[in-house]
Amino acid sequence: ILKTLNSWFWWENIWMPINCTWADFVDRDGLVFPKPHQLYATIPYAFVLLVIRFFSERYVAIPLAKALGIKNVRRVKPQPNPVLESYFRECSRQPSQSEIKGLAKKCNCTVHLVEKWFRRRRNLEIPTVLQKFQEAFWRFSFYLTSSIVGFIFLYDKPWFYDIWQTWVGYPFQTLLPSQYWYYMAEIGFYWSLIFTLGIDIKRKASACAWACLELDPQLPCDFMAHVVHHLAAIGLMSGSWCGNYVRLGTLVIFVHDTADFWLEAAKMFNYARWEKTCNMLFIIFSIAFFITRMILFPFWILRATLYQPTYYSTTPVIAYFFFNGMLLTLQGLHLYWGYLIFKILKRFVFLK
């Protein structure tokens, strides 16, 4: 069964134009092609990024937070109580008054002590400002580095200025070392986010919606949407790697990362209560978001993926519909996130 599924998945008609086979993608004559098995390397790269994250959060983010005036709040742990702990995890974090009385009798203690225990236990679940700052600092560091490195890798490439060049010579486009490391770092980063979902602060699925959560705590956190978002990003990048859509893939990565580090910077200064700096950075983020996600992505990237391939092949492969479906879904999310950002800007301008 596994062999059959594997042969179906790697069927040439899914991934590449007619009259092309996987044998054509063997390195030759100075041409180097991306190979699916190289994606296995993104897992150890993810652990390398986790090590870098650990040291950057501890030895850079914490001193920076202290310099900005953010204090590490130490919360008092409640006394160990198996009965109350079991009720807290399995039944309710905020028991009613009658339930508290029943638990007090069961534990042979006063109602006041039970209320105090639940209050302290709930406080342990709330992330501290320092924890939020550390996470924002890590994402800011990665997105900023990725944006700078991406620009260095792309600025001298013809397809960075002429989108038609992404299809010239396809599918026999050689893989550059810079493209390899750009992809490996990005996929490894999203793997690292999945590995830390259990310990990271539960937030909205997108960086843009996170800002709304910071301003409006009543917005629900969606853990599963977070998982789906990261897996979709990994799937889209991995698929484009296998189909050698690397030129377009690097442009998609660059367009998305260039706005996100402004948001993370705004959040960092928000935690430090530097309101004017935070507001200025959020406005810059909003401008960058609307330029990259509302203009460049639909009218530059999607035009290259939907319209231009018809000039190079009269019979689109199955991957054409899969990737464009994913990219159109992503654009739908951009519209939704843009709506949320617009609401924040509206409140910021009119309600101060």
pLDDT digits (tens, 9 = 90+) for 42-57: 999 999 999 999 999 9
- Residues facing 31 on adjacent strands: 28
Q: Are residues 94 and 241 in the same domain?
A: no
Cβ atoms of residues 188 and 42 within 8 Å: yes
Q: How many domains does the chain have?
A: 2
Q: Which of 112-126, 221-235, 245-259 has the highest mean pLDDT?
A: 245-259
Between CA 332 and CA 328 the distance in angstroms is 6
Q: Are residues 52 and 145 in the same domain?
A: yes
Q: Are residues 177 and 106 in the same domain?
A: no
**Does the N-terminal peptide bond of residue 171 adopt cis geometry, omega within 30 degrees of 0?**
yes
Residue 105 burial by CB count (10 A; 0-12/13-18/19+): exposed, middle or buried?
exposed
Residue 98 burial by CB count (10 A; 0-12/13-18/19+): exposed, middle or buried?
exposed
Give the residue from 201, 228, 207 showing the smallest Cα distance to 340: 207
Q: Are residues 222 and 235 in the same domain?
A: yes
Task: Establish if 278 belongs to a structural domain.
Answer: yes
Instruction: Determine the pLDDT at residue 225.
Output: 61
pTM (predicted TM-score): 0.83
Q: Are residues 206 and 118 in the same domain?
A: no
Task: Establish if 279 belongs to a structural domain.
Answer: yes
216, pLDDT greater than 50: no
Residue 188: pLDDT band with limits 50, 70, 90? very high
Q: Are residues 66 and 90 in the same domain?
A: no
Mean pLDDT in residue range 69-83 = 81
Mean pLDDT in residue range 257-270 = 93
Task: Establish if 32 belongs to a structural domain.
Answer: yes
Q: Are residues 177 and 279 in the same domain?
A: yes
Cβ atoms of residues 253 and 186 within 8 Å: yes
Task: Establish if 8 belongs to a structural domain.
Answer: no
Q: Are residues 66 and 178 in the same domain?
A: yes
Instruction: Determine the pLDDT at residue 222.
Output: 53
Task: Establish if 75 belongs to a structural domain.
Answer: no
Residue 290: pLDDT band with limits 50, 70, 90? very high
Q: What type of residue is 327?
A: L
Last residue of a domain, one of 124, 158, 191: 124
Instruction: Determine the pLDDT at residue 210.
Output: 41
Q: Are residues 106 and 173 in the same domain?
A: no
- Ranking 129-133, 221-225, 275-279, 291-295 by mean pLDDT, the lowest is 221-225
Task: Establish if 11 belongs to a structural domain.
Answer: no
What's the CATH number where 120 sits? 1.10.10.60
320, pLDDT greater than 80: yes
Structural domain boundaries, residue 105? 82-124
348, pLDDT greater than 50: yes
How high does pLDDT run on average in the chain?
85
Task: Establish if 237 belongs to a structural domain.
Answer: yes
Q: Are residues 90 and 173 in the same domain?
A: no
Q: Are residues 60 and 87 in the same domain?
A: no
When comparing pLDDT for 81 and 266, which is higher? 266
Last residue of a domain, one of 91, 109, 124: 124
Instruction: Determine the pLDDT at residue 274.
Output: 92
Q: Are residues 182 and 329 in the same domain?
A: yes
Task: Establish if 15 belongs to a structural domain.
Answer: no
